[in-house]
Amino acid sequence: MTDINVVKQIQDLRRDLDMEVNLFHEQIELPLDEALIHDKEFSRQKQFGSNLGQLSRGIALSKWFRKITSQFESIDPFYK
């Protein structure tokens, strides 16, 4: 077999595998009713809000800590 034939055969096998995987995923997915979809979306938004709040507090704390520590002289002689 030449290299081109091997590459084509691998591409065909990969395409077949992708089709099989897609069909398998379609078969195992269960249809969600509207209430579950709404709850899932609500929990995603709630988590996003929580993450955003934690990020904002972390940034504020970091800025405050940098402001406080920048007031002091460095003790480490190699730092300068």
pLDDT tens readout for residues 7-38: 889 899 999 999 988 888 777 766 556 777 77
Is residue 59 very low, low, confident or very high in pLDDT (cuts 50, 70, 90)?
confident
pTM over the 0.75 mark: no
Residue type (1 letter), 26: E
Q: Give CA–CA dist 17/15, Å, rounded.
A: 5
